[in-house]
Amino acid sequence: MILTAWATLAALGVYFWTGVNAGRARIRHGVPAPMMDGPEEFLRCQRVQANTLEQLPLVLAPLWLCAWFLGDAWAAAGGLLWCLGRIAYALEYYRDPARREFGFVTGMLACALLIGGTVWGLLLR
């Protein structure tokens, strides 16, 4: 399950990247902790980071279940699709939150495919 481990590290890397972006925006706009309100650019970065954190359980659990019950390559492909979707979501949201749908839908599709792959793998057993 080496590929799934790499996909997991990639997902954590995406989360780390969004956290760094939120931290940089906090510093750039002088928003002291624990304040969660500030200029729109800060709020966008903070929301992307929080939303990515909210999505991690939805991808990590089925990622590993899919790897176990269906296969390493299938799971890793779903995990990498999620990473690409979350990167697109972040970049879209940073520019214009109203245009975040492609990245959001891609990430959710990846989660659905991982869950479906797990179910399929379980049914094959």
Maximum pairwise Cα distance, the chain: 55
Q: For the whole model, what pTM was predicted?
A: 0.95
The pLDDT value given to residue 39: 96
Q: pLDDT digit string (tens) for 84-103?
A: 999 999 999 999 999 999 99
State the pLDDT confidence band at 118, using cuts at 50, 70 and 90.
very high
Q: Topology of domain 2-124, per CATH?
A: Four Helix Bundle (Hemerythrin (Met), subunit A) (1.20.120)
Percent of the chain with pLDDT over 90: 98
Q: What residue type is 20 in one-letter code?
A: V
Distance CA 117, CA 38 (A): 41
Distance CA 118, CA 72 (A): 11
The pLDDT value given to residue 96: 96
To the nearest whole number, what is the mean pLDDT of the chain? 97
Under DSSP, the state recorded for 29 is T
Q: 């089925």: which residue's tokens?
A: 62
The pLDDT value given to residue 74: 97
Q: pLDDT digit string (tens) for 24-59?
A: 999 999 999 999 999 999 999 999 999 999 999 999
117 close to 66: Cβ distance less than 8 angstroms: yes
The pLDDT value given to residue 82: 98
Any idea where the domains of the chain sit in the sequence? 2-124
The pLDDT value given to residue 15: 98
State the pLDDT confidence band at 122, using cuts at 50, 70 and 90.
very high
Closest of 40, 51, 65 to residue 15, by C-alpha: 51
In angstroms, the Cα distances linking 52 to 29, 38, 103 are 22, 20, 11
46 close to 28: Cβ distance less than 8 angstroms: no
